[in-house]
């Protein structure tokens, strides 16, 4: 968790959106330990009570107090300091449409962080859903062609990387 915070370095006054968040476990845990002003979670398969259950679980487990405003599935999002996509980039059917939403949603100078399992030598499939995994260079090219500037890669583990882009 600290490793991701060191890579993202958001501030308490920042507005963060996470796309494809599921029940928000990563996001809630991160913002509980390193609060943001506001956290917007986007996942059409999730209900508000799922997010509240995640907040309740982590606050009880850690004894920390939840400080971030939270919103689930708004109509749109604009002027975000950061946008995160955790292990979901391979899931999107229309990545170019999602990429435009991301680009339009992040403020000028804002950060986009993708956490994704990647193919390294040959094309691999995601264990959970069976969809093809991208090569790191494919993701970087996709984002830079959309007008976002590649900043850095950090290896997460033997299968996944964090990719950082700036608008």
> What is the predicted pLDDT for the residue at 125?
82
> What is the predicted pLDDT for the residue at 89?
95
Residues of the chain with pLDDT under 50: none
DSSP E strands in the chain: the ranges are 15-19, 38-42, 69-72, 80-86, 106-117, 149-155, 160-166
Q: Which DSSP symbol is given to 45?
A: T
> What is the predicted pLDDT for the residue at 122?
87
Cα gap 115→25, rounded to integer Å: 14
pTM: 0.95
Pair 166, 151: CB distance under 8 Å = yes
């Amino acid at each position: 968790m600290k490793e991701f915070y060191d890579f993202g370095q958001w501030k308490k006054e920042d507005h963060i959106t996470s796309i494809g968040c599921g029940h928000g476990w990563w996001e809630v845990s991160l913002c509980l330990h390193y609060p943001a002003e506001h956290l917007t979670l986007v996942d059409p398969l999730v209900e508000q009570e799922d997010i509240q259950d995640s907040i309740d679980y982590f606050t009880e487990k850690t004894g920390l107090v939840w400080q971030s405003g939270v919103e689930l599935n708004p109509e749109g999002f604009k002027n975000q300091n950061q946008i995160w996509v955790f292990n979901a980039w391979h899931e999107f059917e229309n990545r170019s449409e999602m990429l435009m939403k991301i680009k339009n949603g992040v403020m000028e100078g804002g950060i986009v962080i993708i956490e994704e399992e990647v193919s390294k030598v040959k094309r691999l499939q995601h264990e959970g859903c069976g969809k093809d995994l991208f090569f790191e260079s494919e993701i970087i090219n996709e984002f830079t062609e959309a007008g976002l500037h590649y900043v850095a890669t950090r290896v997460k583990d033997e299968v996944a990387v964090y990719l950082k882009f700036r608008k």
